[in-house]
Amino acid sequence: MGKGSKIWHFCHIQSGAVIGENCTLGQNVNVGNNVIIGNGVKIQNNVSVYEGVELEDYVFCGPSIVFTNDLTPRSQYPKGSKGYIRTLVKFGATIGANATIICGNTIGRYAMIASGAVVTKDVPDYALMAGVPARQIGWVCECGRGLKETLTCSECNRAYQLINGKLEKSDG
């Protein structure tokens, strides 16, 4: 566990897990074996980060979100850690309360997943996703504000441009 990290009541940190600096884990958080959690990550109450999930720096996990790590689980035929499918949540992404993240997907940098959404495929950087299954309904700035057609943030004035269907920060 990194310097400055805080862990609230009734949490379980399993063997081999790595937790970065300045993280906050809310009440009833479970961190599975060999999970990697970057720096500055905030995990709200009642979240289980199962083996096979990696959270890069500054990820926000809302209350009661669900990560999976097996697409075809059977109690009678356990696969063990060799059967887990990797999920990656990239730098600065936000996952809203009660969202479900199906394993094998990557959530892009600064993406925002709406509360209650079910992510069933990869999410692009800066994408705003909502629904069941989750679909892209817009773009978000690094600061978290939704972007309008101009792709310039009304809050912080960061500017973006679409290049080959991907949102990137403008140089100017």
Digit-coded pLDDT (tens) for 42-91: 999 999 999 999 999 999 999 999 999 999 999 999 998 999 999 999 99
162-170: long-range pairs with CB below 8 Å, 24+: 166/124, 166/125, 167/124, 167/125, 167/126, 167/127, 167/139, 168/125, 169/142
b/e string for 38-59 if b means 16 or more Cβ within 10 A?
A: bbbbbbbbbbbbbbbbbbbbbb
Alpha-carbon distances of 124 from 84, 91, 95, 112, 143, rounded to whole Å: 23, 12, 14, 10, 16
Domain count, the chain: 1
Domain-embedded: residue 159: no
Residue 172 has what pLDDT? Answer: 59
In a domain, 12, yes or no: yes
Q: Is 165 within a domain?
A: no
* 37, part of any domain: yes
Q: What is the pLDDT along the chain (172 residues), one digit of tens a residue?
A: 999 999 999 999 999 999 999 999 999 999 999 999 999 999 999 999 999 999 999 999 999 999 999 999 999 999 989 999 999 999 999 999 999 999 999 999 999 999 999 999 999 999 999 999 999 999 999 999 999 999 999 999 999 999 999 999 997 5
Residue 171: predicted pLDDT = 76
Burial (CB < 10 A; 0-12, 13-18, 19+), residue 146, is middle
Range of 47's domain? Answer: 1-140
CATH of the domain at 95: 2.160.10.10
Answer whether residue 145 is part of any domain: no
**Residue partners of 75: CB distance under 8 A and separation at least 6:** none
Report pLDDT for 161. 96
What's residue 159's pLDDT?
Answer: 97
Residue 156 lies in a domain: no
- Residue 127 maps to a domain: yes
Which tokens hold the place of 2?
């990194």
For residue 148, what pLDDT is reported?
95
The answer as to whether 148 is a domain residue is: no
Cα–Cα dist 6/8, whole Å: 7
Q: Look up the pTM and report it.
A: 0.96
